[in-house]
Amino acid sequence: MSTRAPARRADEPLETLLARLLEAKDELPFATVDHDRQRRTGAPEVIYAAGKTPAQVVAIARRIVTRAGRCLVTRADTDTQAALVAAFAGARVNQRARTVFLGRAPVGVGRVCVVSAGTSDLPVAEEAVETLRALGSTVERLIDVGVAGIHRILLRSPSVRRANAVIVVAGMEGALPSVVGGLTHRPVFAVPTSVGYGASFRGLAALLGMLNSCAPGVAVVNIDNGFGAAFAAHRVNSLATRAGTRSRRARASRRNGA
């Protein structure tokens, strides 16, 4: 069965495109692999490993890597990590993030700053970092710079301002994204974590605090969703990088023409 994604024309009717996609579907007994996703969204399908057996994850990953040359697996437990390492040479495991990357990562472009309020927030922050790398964004980390020692983020503010997008990961009361939002004109993606004591309600307090941020330009994703924040930040970073490249070319062209 072929897994080649169907080519399409810009004027192709939606019904025709859907029919061709269905004809080219790649089905396993437990999954239908979406090989067309890279064309539509700019990145291959990512495997969310929670709830899947190690054998299922390996089988899906084989199909994606064969077609796309790379695959990111998130929320992989130790058994799934071991199965992927055994099945794929060069598998890159981040145990803290619970991710496994397979294949060749794209060359990083631009810059996304990933800010972690506390060391306890690092598992979610690392998921964001690994996702950004798999997508092709250059990453800068700021670790343990939460509001309990506000000077720490203030001293590192140049790193925040250099980035095309910023991801801020915080638990407890979730105050750090508001602080960062006041330091940069770049988009800030806030990630509440389930870190905290009883009244944090497993991240709900941080989520509500971030949603009520008085700093403009702060967007909030779901609790512990480093992956979602990274995907959004990568898209901003990619657009900003392409715009910068076009601007530099235009200036060079004007100089050469002058």
CATH number at residue 163: 3.40.50.1970
Q: Is there a single domain that holds both residue 112 and residue 186?
A: yes
Q: Are 104 and 77 in contact (CB under 8 A)?
A: no
**Residue where a domain terminates, one of 104, 123, 145:** 104
Q: Is there a single domain that holds both residue 198 and residue 256?
A: yes
Q: Is there a single domain that holds both residue 47 and residue 135?
A: no
pLDDT higher than threshold 70 for residue 249: no
Q: What is the pLDDT of residue 4?
A: 44
Q: 159 CB contacts (<8 Å, ≥6 apart)?
A: 113, 140, 142
Q: Is there a single domain that holds both residue 89 and residue 136?
A: no
**Residue where a domain terminates, one of 78, 104, 130:** 104
**Residue where a domain terminates, one of 60, 77, 104:** 104
Which amino acid would we find at residue 140? E
- Number of separate domains in the chain: 2
Q: Would you say residue 3 lies in a domain?
A: no
Its domain, for residue 75, covers: 22-104
Q: 110 CB contacts (<8 Å, ≥6 apart)?
A: 137, 138, 164, 237, 238, 240, 241
Nearest residue to 58 via CA among 49, 45, 70, 68: 49
pLDDT higher than threshold 70 for residue 248: no
Q: Is there a single domain that holds both residue 42 and residue 128?
A: no
Q: Is there a single domain that holds both residue 89 and residue 121?
A: no
Highest mean pLDDT among 1-15, 209-223, 230-244: 209-223
pLDDT higher than threshold 60 for residue 142: yes
Q: Would you say residue 5 lies in a domain?
A: no
Structure tokens at 38: 């890279």
Q: How many CB atoms lie within 10 A of CB 140?
A: 16
For residues 124 and 189, give the distance between their C-alpha atoms in angstroms, rounded to a whole number.
Answer: 13
Q: Would you say residue 1 lies in a domain?
A: no
Nearest residue to 145 via CA among 177, 111, 185, 188: 177
pLDDT band, very low/low/confident/very high, at 23 (cuts 50, 70, 90): low
Average pLDDT, the chain: 90
Give strand pairing partners of 190.
168, 220
Length of the chain: 258
Nearest residue to 67 via CA among 40, 45, 86: 45
Q: What is the pLDDT of residue 42?
A: 87
Q: What is the pLDDT of residues 181-214, one digit of tens each?
A: 999 999 999 999 999 999 999 999 999 999 999 9
Q: Are 220 and 190 in contact (CB under 8 A)?
A: yes
For residues 114 and 219, give the distance between their C-alpha atoms in angstroms, rounded to a whole number.
Answer: 14
Structure tokens at 92: 């890159």
The pTM is what?
0.86
Q: Is there a single domain that holds both residue 97 and residue 117?
A: no
